[in-house]
Amino acid sequence: MARKVIDEPSEEIVANARVARETKRGPFARVSLFIKQVLAELRKVVTPTRKELLSYTGVVLIFVVIMMALVSALDWVFALVVTYVFGTPS
């Protein structure tokens, strides 16, 4: 089965992690290593194009509208059932 190369950490990050495991680091060195690793991972992030971004936004908005309609319909049905079972207050 083929593995995605993108999901694997870079060799530099693995080497830094091994060094960090072998030597005891102080709190500032650990924070520094963490920030370096975060920045290395952020360099791998691919930002969507404007067309993709508009497409994703449209899909999310349509999904939210559909879910709002579904929840509203269920709320209305449950309100009818509760009114039928318990009656209207006098």
Q: pLDDT (tens digit, 9 = 90+) per residue, 52-89?
A: 999 999 999 999 999 999 999 999 999 999 999 998 87
- Rounded Cα distance between 10 and 71, Å, is 45
Segment 31-51 shows an average pLDDT of 92
Identify whether residues 38 and 7 lie together within a single domain. Answer: yes
Identify whether residues 22 and 61 lie together within a single domain. Answer: no
Q: What local confidence, expressed as pLDDT, does residue 71 receive? A: 98
Q: Two tokens at 15?
A: 């080497």
Tally of domains in the chain: 2
- DSSP class of residue 23 equals S
Residue at a domain's end among 13, 30, 46: 46
Range of the domain at 81: 47-90
